[in-house]
């Protein structure tokens, strides 16, 4: 097995799929990339058993098709040091040795038997749709931050996808905050739903950022596949029933605060520095056209208070929130102004953008309050 490939093309492609690699693999072979030469194309695979990514790149020259597993870390680190030059790979498939020739240098490493590398899952009875990368990337980035990490509730560690003939809905929650992102400019013929784990979504978020191309999605009861340009990602779906998220979204919220998003976000950042560092609790006191944001940490005699101008329609209210949750949410809204809808100090608040960048986009964020110490 022998081929010549551009060091830059190869390095960029390995970086694209290397996020799948885990630092705590149960199988040593999962520390490797699988290299397969098919005609003039090089197909490279990375896997952690749950998620598998494949990238296909052209070779400059290829001789003798073959397949080998090559250690990922030393290969990536070596490629980073090269300028854009051709690299010759020569693989001995009997003893699995790999030799790289680049310029005046020769580098040898021990590869491994490809038979030990996990096989791609066979996907049958598939449903499919095609979606713009910008739409999918936005849906992922607006929801994945709100997923949970509680091992006892694995369904909440991923994003719940609900596809229907009317729209696509993406939901994430960790029981303290919830995000529902809906697109009315994409749909599927039949109703379906599944839960995608956080790790592959973070890979997609990185790869789709700022890009414009079509993404083909195929899915069944156990796996989902995302194909775009020269990359394919297959991930195992999370089993289980997602909580009835609609039931926790309050519909009657008569108290409505409208405020400049960046002013609100920056005030919370400053005030939160003086809050108790275990609860991160801040207090919002709203009356008329005034919003007062305050915090205190009795143990260290720290306290902070800021006043903001706002528009408020409702009864005077004091409500407490975890500042980190509010900052996460405000940082993932693009609107210049936001609306915070509330019903009572012990009920969830609803965060909504005032002006959506797209008429086809519906974004709702929910944050649970914390009990205030009077």
Q: State how beta strands 281-287 and 255-260 pair.
A: unpaired
**Cα distance between residue 98 and residue 272, in whole Å:** 54
Its sign, for the CA torsion 143, 163, 232, 243, is positive
**Cα distance between residue 88 and residue 176, in whole Å:** 53
Mean pLDDT of 184-194: 92
288 band by pLDDT with thresholds 50, 70 and 90: confident
Mean pLDDT of 53-62: 95
pLDDT over 80 at 28, yes or no = yes
Phi, psi of 340 (to 5 degrees): -110, 110
| Backbone dihedral region for residue 110 (phi beyond 0: left; psi -120 to 50: alpha; all else: beta) | beta
The sheet carrying 32-38 orders its strands as 66-71, 32-38, 41-47, 51-58, 231-236, 223-228, 214-219, 127-132
Percent of the chain whose predicted confidence (pLDDT) is above 70: 99
Dihedral of CA atoms 14, 16, 19, 21 in degrees, nearest 10, equals -30
374 band by pLDDT with thresholds 50, 70 and 90: low
Domains and their CATH numbers in the chain = 2-116 (3.10.150.10), 127-246 (3.10.150.10), 250-367 (3.10.150.10)
Average pLDDT score, the chain: 94
317-360 confidence digits (pLDDT tens): 999 999 999 999 999 999 999 999 999 999 999 999 998 777 89
Least confident of 94-108, 235-249, 337-351, 360-374: 360-374
226-241 confidence digits (pLDDT tens): 999 999 999 999 999 9
Long-range contact set of residues 9-13: C-beta below 8 Å, sequence gap at least 24 = 9/57, 9/58, 10/42, 10/57, 10/79, 10/87, 11/76, 11/79, 11/80, 11/82, 13/44, 13/55, 13/57, 13/230
Provide the whole-model pTM.
0.92
What's the pLDDT score for residue 227?
96
């Amino acid at each position: 097995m022998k081929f010549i490939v551009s060091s830059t093309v190869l390095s960029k492609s390995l970086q694209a799929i290397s996020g799948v690699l885990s630092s705590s693999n149960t199988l040593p072979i999962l520390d490797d990339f699988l290299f397969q030469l098919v005609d003039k194309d090089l197909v490279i695979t990375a896997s952690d058993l749950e998620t598998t990514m494949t990238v296909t790149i052209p070779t400059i020259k290829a001789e003798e098709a073959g397949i080998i597993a090559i250690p990922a870390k030393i290969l990536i680190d070596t490629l980073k040091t090269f300028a854009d030059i051709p690299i010759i790979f020569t693989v001995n498939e009997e003893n699995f040795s790999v030799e790289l020739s680049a310029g005046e240098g020769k580098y040898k490493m021990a590869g491994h038997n490809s038979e030990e590398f996990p096989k791609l899952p066979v996907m049958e009875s598939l449903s499919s749709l095609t979606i713009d990368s910008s739409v999918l990337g936005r849906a992922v980035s607006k929801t994945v931050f709100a997923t949970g990490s509680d091992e006892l509730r694995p369904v909440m560690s991923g994003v719940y996808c609900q596809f229907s003939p009317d729209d696509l809905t993406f939901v994430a929650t960790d029981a303290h905050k919830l995000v529902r992102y809906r697109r009315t400019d994409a749909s599927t013929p039949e109703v379906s739903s599944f839960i995608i784990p956080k790790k592959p979504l973070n890979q997609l978020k990185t790869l789709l950022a700022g890009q414009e191309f079509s993404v083909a999605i195929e899915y069944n009861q156990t796996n989902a596949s995302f194909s775009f340009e020269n990359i394919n990602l297959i991930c195992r779906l999370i089993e289980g029933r997602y909580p009835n998220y609609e039931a926790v979204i309050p519909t009657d919220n008569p108290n409505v605060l409208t405020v400049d998003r960046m002013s609100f976000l920056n005030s919370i950042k400053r005030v939160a520095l003086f809050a108790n560092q275990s609860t991160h609790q801040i207090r919002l006191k709203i009356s008329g056209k005034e919003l007062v944001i305050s915090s205190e940490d009795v143990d260290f005699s720290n306290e902070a208070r800021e006043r903001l101008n706002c528009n408020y329609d409702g009864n005077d209210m004091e409500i407490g929130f975890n500042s980190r949750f509010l900052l996460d949410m405000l940082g993932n809204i693009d609107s210049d102004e936001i609306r915070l809808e509330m019903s009572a100090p012990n009920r969830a608040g609803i965060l909504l953008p005032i002006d959506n960048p797209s008429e086809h986009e519906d974004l709702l964020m929910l944050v649970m309050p914390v009990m205030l110490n009077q």
